[in-house]
A and B are shown apart, each in its own frame.
Chain A
């Protein structure tokens, strides 16, 4: 009897302790959401999505250009980063040994550890300088470079999870190797690869540093790849550093939009791919 009481108390205490730790881990997220919503919601209106920034002193205006710029940058970066990342990851998964595979894997690991501002400086040196000007293109390529390692490694891990006997089965019905590979591994790993891509996109959506001296910023409407382009993170940076209350409010609103964008991407990924994981394993 006594022993049971001790056990019960221990149980409750450990549970409470775990709960406390879990709450501590979630606390930052709650704080971020709370402040962003509290400060951003009031500044958020239709103008934010439809209007361009207005000069200092005038009130109103929005961030239509930054929103579209961000989407354009993410899209262009994915256009480059996803095919490169998926193909490289596929190669790594199917080519387990070999010197070349080793170096590709090593490069992906190193690249994922390179600070994003360094990537921005490199993109500046390699693209902005020769092109003689800031451009959306240079920003997108910098973001693509940041995205590639994530896509490579998730693709590799997901393709490796697909059982080899499925590949053998595809060969055994007389499929050519390339067709068996594409069918079995791409289909088997699809959900996981999509998750990896979405996570990588969510990550670059908030990147600021590599854009500061590549895509730069643009107060006007622009969807040209060769012109400087505005983006939400850079706009937030500029507005938050300014001394104007009006701009601070807009920066909060932009934060809210960015957080919802990133959160929405994660949630949608979870929903789309839930259950499909179980099928693979």
Chain B
């Protein structure tokens, strides 16, 4: 089971990558017995186990051992290039679209491994929604933007679909602003509205988890504030994971924090993680302390 899970996958086609396998085998030899054991705590939603990602020969991230708690907001922090986006995109296997990407270790979602052959990626992505850095609504109507995902999964039809779209837009705090112009092109909305539309679009497929990669970095302070408020309103119904460069934002919205750093080979490593208050008040690692202080002071 362990060695099975530890192979490197060229994800998506279920073919075992020989190079990844060799590397994984070396690591297994040196590893403690159960770095790969699935999380036992039912409160853990996503569990990274000795997880690593490489792009071709470049090792972007390795040995990530991290549990993410259900119904809370977890923030990923760290300097640029330390693999936050890479780790985030591993949860819904978006990195599969990059041909050179290889994976080691395992990610567990509700106790089930997701880097194994035969995983239904469509269903995985239905459970794990995503919001991107730059608002990226489809070149379609506001209604269609939200409805499309639901339609892809055959969730609702006819009037029920309309009600569902309304519910999602309301949940994203956008309904009142757009209810009279659902047929309008989504591009006509402001940046902040577009980002909330993207959140509504993600909610429309009824996910459990919402991944957000710097969702506010393209927005002004007021739009940012509204998104942060929205994020708070999404827990504990959803598990939210957010990547942010904004330390104050992490302090404001997150319940848990994970701090990453790059080692001498420019490979991303998890430095420490824990409840946000604890990490901010008493960071265990010197790098965390300096990063938080430097940016805050």
A and B: bona fide binding partners = yes
B82 to chain A, nearest CB (A): 21
Known contacts A163-B136, A165-B134, A166-B138, A173 near B202 by CB under 8 Å? yes
Known contacts A165-B132, A168-B97, A173 near B139 by CB under 8 Å? no
Q: Which residue of B lies closest to A172 (CB)?
A: B130
A244 CA / B201 CA spacing, docked (Å): 69
B94 and A173 contact, CB distance less than 8 A: no
A131 within 8 A of B: no
Contact with B along A164-175 (1 / 0, CB 8 A): 011011111111
B202 and A172 contact, CB distance less than 8 A: yes
A175 and B97 contact, CB distance less than 8 A: no
A228 within 8 A of B: no
Listed by A's residue number, 16 A-B pairs whose Cβ atoms lie within 8 Å are A162-B139, A166-B138, A168-B97, A169-B130, A169-B132, A169-B136, A170-B138, A170-B148, A173-B129, A173-B205, A174-B123, A174-B153, A174-B205, A175-B122, A179-B152, A279-B139
The residues of A that contact B149 with a CB separation of less than 8 Å are: 173-175
Q: Mark the stretch among A45-53, A183-191, A205-213 that contacts chain B.
A: A183-191
B138 and A183 contact, CB distance less than 8 A: yes
B202 and A187 contact, CB distance less than 8 A: no
A280 within 8 A of B: yes
A168 CA / B205 CA spacing, docked (Å): 15
In which size bucket is the chain A interface? 20 to 34
A174 CA / B140 CA spacing, docked (Å): 18
Q: Which residue of A lies closest to B187 (CB)?
A: A279
A183 CA / B124 CA spacing, docked (Å): 20
State the majority secondary structure of interface residues on A: helix
Contact for B201 among A173, A176, A187, CB less than 8 A:
A173
B72 within 8 A of A: no
Known contacts A187-B140, A279-B187, A173 near B125 by CB under 8 Å? yes
Q: Of residues 138 to 165 in A, which have CB atoms within 8 Å of B's CB atoms?
A: 162-163, 165
Known contacts A168-B94, A169-B132, A279-B187, A175 near B139 by CB under 8 Å? no
A191 to chain B, nearest CB (A): 10
Max count, chain A CB within 10 A of own CB: residue among B92, B139, B205: B139
Q: Which residue of A lies closest to B149 (CB)?
A: A173
A172 and B97 contact, CB distance less than 8 A: no
B148 to chain A, nearest CB (A): 7
B116 within 8 A of A: no
Known contacts A165-B132, A176-B122, A188 near B94 by CB under 8 Å? no
The residues of B that contact A173 with a CB separation of less than 8 Å are: 125-126, 129, 148-149, 152, 201-202, 204-205
The residues of B that contact A162 with a CB separation of less than 8 Å are: 139
Q: Of residues 216 to 252 in B, which have CB atoms within 8 Å of A's CB atoms?
A: none
Q: Which residue of B lies closest to A189 (CB)?
A: B139
B135 to chain A, nearest CB (A): 10
The residues of A that contact B97 with a CB separation of less than 8 Å are: 168, 171
The residues of B that contact A175 with a CB separation of less than 8 Å are: 122, 148-149, 152
B198 and A188 contact, CB distance less than 8 A: no
Contact for B136 among A166, A179, A280, CB less than 8 A:
A166
B134 and A171 contact, CB distance less than 8 A: no
